[in-house]
Amino acid sequence: GQNIDQPTEMTATEGAIVQINCTYQTSGFNGLFWYQQHAGEAPTFLSYNVLDGLEEKGRFSSFLSRSKGYSYLLLKELQMKDSASYLCAGDSWGKLQFGAGTQVVVTP
Amino acid sequence: EAGVAQSPRYKIIEKRQSVAFWCNPISGHATLYWYQQILGQGPKLLIQFQNNGVVDDSQLPKDRFSAERLKGVDSTLKIQPAKLEDSAVYLCASRTGTGGIDEQFFGPGTRLTVL
């Protein structure tokens, strides 16, 4: 399979910036999805990268380097409601393979 | 627009019993997925349907799990007999599946506890 690795947990202060890294094997994926999942809820879509570079959507940005098998999700101006698990997922023709998720804890 | 619906939301059974989950995808979505999410892990794909046909069931434990989508809309996932390690949240997701890049929309999930 295509291993997807991301840190288990990150802690940051309200108003700060946090960067969640995701690495994967370089072959087999068409692009990279990021999903947010609050405890006890379903994952919700945040962003998708198919080309190298940065995609910006409000306070969230996602970056992809296909040659390096590397992506990151940048969360700016952190709010308490951003405390959640962030899932990196490789897309292979409509099939997603998820990492284990990074639990982000936002503290006051 | 109504989202992906799933029922029941919670289910507690004893090992060796049977259980079934139901999913109604977003109207018009051709592709439907069932995922298993064990606590502390990311969702793992069990089966993918395109309309009423199976696209990928390579990770479905076929000795105990079965799924169908007879009319290309609703889907059911069944476990018979259940084992302790089947305790997880079962997520259903759908996407338009008409080509191109589009995200999957997830239902609220069914939390299964096997005792």
The pLDDT profile of chain B, 115 residues, written as one tens digit per residue, is: 689 999 999 999 999 999 999 999 999 999 999 999 999 999 999 999 999 899 999 999 999 999 999 888 999 999 999 999 999 999 999 998 766 678 899 999 999 999 9
Residues of A with Cβ-Cβ distance to B113 under 8 angstroms = none
Residues of A with Cβ-Cβ distance to B109 under 8 angstroms = 42
Per-residue pLDDT, A2:
60
Residues of A with Cβ-Cβ distance to B104 under 8 angstroms = 45, 96
- Mean pLDDT across the stretch A96-107? 96
* Mutation to test the A interface, candidates B21, B35, B37, most A Cβ within 10 Å: B37
Query: Which of A97, A76, A63 minimizes the C-alpha distance to B104?
Result: A97
Residue A63 contacts residue A49 (beta carbons within 8 Å): yes
* Mutation to test the B interface, candidates A96, A102, A103, most B Cβ within 10 Å: A96
d(CA A25, CA A21): 14
Of A44, A94, A98, the CB nearest to B42: A98
String of b and e for B31-55 (b: at least 16 CB within 10 Å)? Answer: bbbbbbbeeeebbbbbbbbeeeeeb
Per-residue pLDDT, A1:
46
Of A33, A42, A100, the CB nearest to B109: A42
Residue B38 contacts residue B91 (beta carbons within 8 Å): no
Q: What is the pLDDT of residues A50-82, one digit of tens each?
A: 999 999 999 999 999 998 999 999 999 999 999
B16: left (phi over 0), alpha (psi -120 to 50) or beta: left
Q: What is the mean pLDDT of chain A?
A: 93
- pLDDT at A23 > cutoff 80: yes
Bond before A7 cis per omega within 30 degrees: no
For β-strands A84-92 and A95-98, DSSP reports them as antiparallel
Identify the three-state secondary structure at position A82: helix
Q: What is the CA radius of gyration of chain B?
A: 13
Beta bridge partners of A104: A10, A84
Residue A56 contacts residue A104 (beta carbons within 8 Å): no
Segment A35-40 long-range contacts (CB within 8 Å, at least 24 positions apart): A35/A86, A35/A87, A35/A89, A35/A98, A36/A84, A36/A85, A36/A86, A36/A87, A37/A84, A37/A85, A37/A86, A37/A87, A37/A101, A38/A83, A38/A84, A38/A85, A39/A84, A39/A85
